[in-house]
Amino acid sequence: AGLQYQVPHPTQLGLSEAQKRVLDLEKSLQFLQQQHSETLVKLHEEIEHLKRENKDLHYKLIMNQKPQKKGSMSTSSFQSNKSISNSTVSGTRRPPSSPRSRPRASQRNA
């Protein structure tokens, strides 16, 4: 039995090199997983920040449309102002946000 363990000694050196390689690869994998995790957290934070910024800008856009009454867009301005007035009275409806955001979203995708 002792001879059997001594004969594969050169293979054990190779196994030792393989073990070093495995440890190195595991360390690299762990590093990449950590980097991936940190990147994912940062991306989610950026998404939340962008959502808040989008919400703020959307609100500003709605509020800036209210006083604008231009001749070229008189019909849509009238409808928009009427909708804003209705949503202000009811406090729950916000019709101008939906129609205005849809074309903007499609423009972004285009």
Which pLDDT score is estimated for 69?
Answer: 58
Task: Indicate the number of domains in the chain.
Answer: 1
Which pLDDT score is estimated for 68?
Answer: 52
Which pLDDT score is estimated for 98?
Answer: 44
- Examine residue 29 and state whether it is found in any structural domain, yes or no: yes
In which residue ranges of the chain is pLDDT below 50? 1-8, 72, 74-80, 82-110
Which pLDDT score is estimated for 95?
Answer: 45
Q: Are 96 and 84 in contact (CB under 8 A)?
A: yes
Contacts of 61 (CB under 8 A, 6+ apart): 100
Which pLDDT score is estimated for 71?
Answer: 54
- Quote the domain boundaries for residue 53: 16-62+76-109
- Whether pTM exceeds 0.85: no
Amino acid occupying residue 70: K
- Examine residue 58 and state whether it is found in any structural domain, yes or no: yes
